[in-house]
Amino acid sequence: MKSFIRAKTGKIIFCLLAAFIVSESSSRVFAEEFIFSPSSSGIFKKRTVYNLRIRENSEYKGSVYRELRESYALLSENGQKKTFAGHAYLFEELKNEGKDIARKIDDIIDGRFVLFPDGRIERTLNDCFPLIVGFPAYPPDGIQVKPGDTWTSEGDILVDPLKKGIYTKMRFICAYKYSGLTNFKGMDAHLVSAQYAVRYKKGDDTEGDTELLEVSGSHKAAIYLTAKESLPLFIQDNIDEVYKFPDLLHAVKGFSHTWYSDVVPMDRNSVRSEIARALSESGLQSGETSVTEKNEGIALTINTIHFVADRAELLPGEEKKIDIIAGILKKIADRSFMIIGHTADIGSAESQQDLSVKRAGEIAALLEKSGIDPDRLIFTGKGGSEPAADNSTEEGDGFNNYSLLHYRQAS
């Protein structure tokens, strides 16, 4: 991914991603007794935020704020087994002096897994997402549980503490205990406590990081499920881990919060009509925009956006177009917007990537200035690696100077 943009006409594409309802079979509820029996279809979505303190060789290195948003769509069914495929967005350092800001995507990783009727998840070959499988796990299928009942399950987690791009698998056995009904944010919910130890010795994973010598630590979690259907709602996980490398002891301590939520289906036809109607009233000239449908959803393209040469700065007067787009976005309720910067394939890969990210961030900042909640904005850049037009022509080269916005369901 890279980024280098000359001072010429660019374009912005706004893409509204499709979203589907998470659907699981209902579980029978008997006062404070219930049966877990998840069977997911549609979309598997979750959002995890980490707040971690890092020490290296006993020296405090600071706090890390990390967010992981995972989204997987149903790919196929074989009997009661369902295969999902999708991707995970990784963000780091999301806060700036305690204020919400648009989130820069640090990595996008594809993944695929199989969901079994008892809630177990297995990754397919060579996939590293979901990072954790076998957690949370349900009791054996059809078994009714009551407060105080316990069960165990096996799982594994993939770790890459030094962000080398090499994931190491650690296996664990998790112990669960059902505590009964409780109150969670004003609603009734089932509460399950869970804990497991992480242990690893060099060589346990022959495909893992060869420099990782040892891992020790623990996870203690509180799991909340909806009272009526027993569907996942929220998980708080207290994390305490130590990673031993040659000449380095890397310690991680803190917590994570994971949210599960249903998402509203998107009617593509109505969205296209709404965007087209808004564009007709926007004052933008004919030929400046186009609305197309992609695999990801609906894309709105603005063909004429001008930047200062080699800078993430719009030329005077161009902010009016961002104001117009912000007005259109405000009419799309309950969605978040992903901005992807692209550039012409000119200059070094590093400079292209850097400028594409900065320009996507500038578009996000201008949308926030125009009244879009920054919590609905995420952005990244692809430099000149994925041109939207033919870089060999002057016209195509100009059209590759743009930012792409995917409209996503707000988490």
Residues 305, 309, 315, 319, CA torsion sign: positive
Decide: 236 and 41 in contact? Cβ < 8 Å: no
Is residue 100 predicted with pLDDT exceeding 60?
Answer: no
Report the pLDDT value the prediction gives residue 39, as an integer from 0 to 100: 38
Window from 6-20, 268-282, 358-372 with minimum mean pLDDT: 6-20
Per-residue pLDDT tens over the stretch 343-358: 777 778 888 888 888 8
| 4 Cβ contact list (under 8 Å, min separation 6) | 310, 343, 344, 346, 347, 348, 351, 352, 355, 383, 384
- H helix and E strand count, the chain: 4, 23
Is residue 94 predicted with pLDDT exceeding 50?
Answer: no
Per-residue pLDDT tens over the stretch 223-256: 999 888 787 889 999 999 999 999 999 999 999 9
> Quick one: what percent of the chain has pLDDT higher than 70?
74
Report the pLDDT value the prediction gives residue 295, as an integer from 0 to 100: 56
Name the more confident of 289 and 200: 200
Report the pLDDT value the prediction gives residue 285, as an integer from 0 to 100: 74
- d(C-alpha 322, C-alpha 311), whole Å: 17
| 131 Cβ contact list (under 8 Å, min separation 6) | 68, 88, 157, 158, 159
Entry pTM: 0.70
For the chain, the straight-line distance linking the first and the last C-alpha, in angstroms and rounded, comes to 27
What is the maximal distance between C-alpha atoms in the chain?
70
pLDDT, averaged across the chain: 77
Name the more confident of 195 and 99: 195
Split at pLDDT 50, 70, 90, the class of 190 is very high
Name the more confident of 394 and 374: 374
Cis peptide before 117 (omega within 30 of 0): no
Split at pLDDT 50, 70, 90, the class of 375 is confident
- d(C-alpha 385, C-alpha 395), whole Å: 18
**Class (C level, CATH) for 9-18+264-409:** alpha beta
The three-state secondary structure class of 226 is strand
Per-residue pLDDT tens over the stretch 104-144: 778 778 888 888 776 677 888 667 778 888 888 878 766 67
Report the pLDDT value the prediction gives residue 41, as an integer from 0 to 100: 45
Give CA 296 to chain center in angstroms.
15
| 184 Cβ contact list (under 8 Å, min separation 6) | 191, 224, 233, 234
Decide: 324 and 283 in contact? Cβ < 8 Å: yes
Is residue 314 predicted with pLDDT exceeding 90?
Answer: no
- d(C-alpha 218, C-alpha 221), whole Å: 10
CB count within 10 Å of CB 185 equals 8
Is residue 78 predicted with pLDDT exceeding 50?
Answer: yes
Decide: 297 and 17 in contact? Cβ < 8 Å: yes
* Identity of residue 20: F
CB count within 10 Å of CB 210 equals 12
Report the pLDDT value the prediction gives residue 40, as an integer from 0 to 100: 44
Pull the structure tokens for residue 207: 């495909």
- d(C-alpha 220, C-alpha 233), whole Å: 17
